[in-house]
């Protein structure tokens, strides 16, 4: 190890300048040598900020798209089976300014593992949290009491860990909801069942190629897209996802960036 370090130092010394202080590269005489900066670390291109302007006022009903004629897209990321994938999404947000909404399944430890790095992004509004039940129950197949428990446990979990409770947005696992489920949810403050227009199809393990096909097919103005923090392929596709978003002049937004529910 020491030998390696020594060799590295020697390269660093001889690589930048001669002993006389002249730059290695040819330059005109008398020019003050400019110190060579290390090559910058490649970064993802930054995503544009949300467009601003007034929010759309929506009724307390299910949504599958963002209203209006804008160029925004709401990426929503569910479950959190994999702490590594949740962490990669958080890093992606930090690296690119991506704004999105996590629909949290409270049972998965990803959310406590990444609480401290998530919290400032939640506080600033760059990442929004919604309720995706406690352990991914099919809400149409359980009693009203159990539905209330599923949503209530995650509501308390979010409040205790992130200072928000996700209201008014909840996402029913598998998309299963009905009037009875929505009534229980609304009584807990979740008045907007948040469905989707297109899916990255990655609740299970798929290939990167297929995920990118889905993105190409569904990323569109005013769409709500569903993805999952469950399996690694998406974490290898962030650069291409950014490329698609930019090529289509879309801005990623959280639901709160653009929506306000009628009082
Ligand atoms: Zn889910």
List the domain range (segments joined by +) for residue 178: 65-261
Distances (CA, A) of 194 to 23, 97, 181, 251: 61, 23, 13, 19
Q: What pLDDT, on a 0 to 100 scale, did the predictor assign at position 7?
A: 39
Q: Ligand 1 mean position to 252 CA, how many Å?
A: 21
Give the contacts of 106 (CB within 8 A, at least 6 positions apart): 133, 134, 135, 153, 154, 157, 158
What is the Cα–Cα distance from 52 to 139, expressed in whole angstroms?
Answer: 35
Write the DSSP symbol of residue 17. Answer: B
Q: Ligand 1 mean position to 31 CA, how many Å?
A: 63
Give the contacts of 10 (CB within 8 A, at least 6 positions apart): none
C-beta separation of 101 from 127 below 8 A: yes
Q: Ligand 1 mean position to 241 CA, how many Å?
A: 21
Q: Ligand 1 mean position to 234 CA, how many Å?
A: 16
224 phi and psi angles, rounded to 5 deg:
-110, 120
Structure tokens at 184: 């229980």
Q: Ligand 1 mean position to 164 CA, how many Å?
A: 20
- Quick check: is 52 in a domain? no
Q: What's the distance, CA 179 to chain centroid? A: 30
What is the Cα–Cα distance from 126 to 97, expressed in whole angstroms?
Answer: 8
- Quick check: is 56 in a domain? no
What total number of domains does the chain contain? Answer: 1
C-beta separation of 105 from 137 below 8 A: no
- Quick check: is 58 in a domain? no
Q: Ligand 1 mean position to 78 CA, how many Å?
A: 5
Q: Ligand 1 mean position to 23 CA, how many Å?
A: 58
- The enclosing domain of 158 has a CATH number of 3.20.20.370
- Quick check: is 81 in a domain? yes
Sequential pLDDT tens for the chain (263 residues): 444 444 333 333 333 333 333 333 444 445 566 667 666 655 545 888 888 889 999 999 999 999 999 999 999 999 999 999 999 999 999 999 999 999 999 999 999 999 999 999 999 999 999 999 999 999 999 999 999 999 999 999 999 999 999 999 999 999 999 999 999 999 999 999 999 999 999 999 999 999 999 999 999 999 999 999 999 999 999 999 999 999 999 999 999 999 999 98
Q: Ligand 1 mean position to 91 CA, how many Å?
A: 21
Q: What pLDDT, on a 0 to 100 scale, did the predictor assign at position 157?
A: 98
- Quick check: is 50 in a domain? no
Q: Ligand 1 mean position to 202 CA, how many Å?
A: 10
Q: Ligand 1 mean position to 26 CA, how many Å?
A: 60
- Quick check: is 109 in a domain? yes
C-beta separation of 248 from 222 below 8 A: no
- Quick check: is 57 in a domain? no
Q: What pLDDT, on a 0 to 100 scale, did the predictor assign at position 49?
A: 84
Write the DSSP symbol of residue 144. Answer: H
- Quick check: is 29 in a domain? no
C-beta separation of 201 from 210 below 8 A: yes
Q: Ligand 1 mean position to 43 CA, how many Å?
A: 31
Q: What is the pTM of this model?
A: 0.83
Rounded to a whole number of angstroms, the distance between the first and last alpha carbons of the chain is 66
For every residue of 53-92, DSSP letters joined together read SPPEEE-SS-BSB--SS--EEEEEEEE---HHHHHHHHHH
């Amino acid at each position: 190890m020491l030998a390696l370090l020594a060799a590295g130092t020697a390269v660093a010394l001889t690589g930048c300048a001669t002993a006389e202080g002249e730059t290695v590269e040819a330059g005109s005489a008398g020019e003050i040598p400019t110190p060579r900066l290390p090559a910058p670390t490649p970064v993802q291109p930054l995503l544009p900020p949300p467009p601003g302007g007034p929010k759309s006022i929506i009724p307390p009903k299910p949504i599958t798209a963002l209203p209006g004629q804008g160029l925004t897209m709401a990426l929503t990321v569910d479950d959190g089976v994999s702490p590594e994938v949740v962490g990669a999404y958080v890093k992606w947000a930090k690296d690119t300014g991506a704004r999105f909404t996590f629909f949290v399944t409270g049972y998965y430890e990803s959310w406590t593992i990444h609480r401290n790095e998530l919290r400032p992004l939640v506080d600033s509004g760059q990442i929004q949290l919604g309720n995706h039940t406690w352990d991914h129950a099919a809400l149409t197949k359980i009693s009203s009491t159990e539905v209330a428990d599923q949503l209530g446990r995650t509501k308390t979990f979010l409040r205790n860990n992130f200072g928000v409770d996700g209201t008014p947005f909840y996402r029913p696992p598998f998309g299963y909801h009905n009037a009875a489920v929505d009534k229980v949810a609304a009584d807990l403050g979740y008045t907007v069942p948040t469905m989707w227009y297109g899916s990255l199809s990655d609740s299970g393990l798929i290939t990167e190629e297929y995920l990118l096909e889905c993105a190409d097919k569904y990323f569109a103005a005013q769409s709500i897209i569903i993805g999952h923090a469950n399996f690694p392929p998406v974490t290898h596709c962030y650069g291409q996802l950014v490329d698609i978003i930019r090529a289509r002049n879309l801005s990623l937004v959280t639901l709160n960036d653009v929506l306000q529910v009628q009082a």
